[in-house]
Amino acid sequence: EDQVTQSPEALRLQEGESSSLNCSYTVSGLRGLFWYRQDPGKGPEFLFTLYSAGEEKEKERLKATLTKKESFLHITAPKPEDSATYLCAVQARSGNTPLVFGKGTRLSVIA
């Protein structure tokens, strides 16, 4: 069974204090690993897709990396507007399979 575990569950940072969120996964052949941001009362907003180990993608203060067992979302010099829940999901290679999500990491950035 495909599984995604995210850690920590919650993270509180001072503005400018860089850190990383972890997503560990087990999947029967990875088709893609997805990162989403979810603000309170809203649907998930797509951030990145990673397809193979060693791949990296960046967007503003966010950088996502992928290994064969986990992905990291690095946040450099965060701002209060980066506060949100960050969700990780995997899609298996076989067939038209759904996304399997982790529970998310709730990030709070304090000014």
Partner 1 sequence: EAGVAQSPRYKIIEKRQSVAFWCNPISGHATLYWYQQILGQGPKLLIQFQNNGVVDDSQLPKDRFSAERLKGVDSTLKIQPAKLEDSAVYLCASSPAETQYFGPGTRLLVL
Residue whose CB is less far from partner 1, 40 or 111: 40
Of 75 and 90, nearer to partner 1 (C-beta) is 90
Q: Residue 7 corresponds to which tokens in the numbers above?
A: 């850690």
Q: How far is the CB of 43 from partner 1 (least distance, A)?
A: 4
Q: Helix, strand, or coil here: 49? A: strand
Give the residue among 6, 8, 16 at the shortest CA–CA distance from 75.
16
Considering the complex, what minimum distance in angstroms separates the CB of residue 13 from partner 1? 20
Residue 46 CB, nearest approach to partner 1 (Å): 6
Q: How many Cα atoms within 13 Å fall on the side-chain side of residue 44?
A: 17
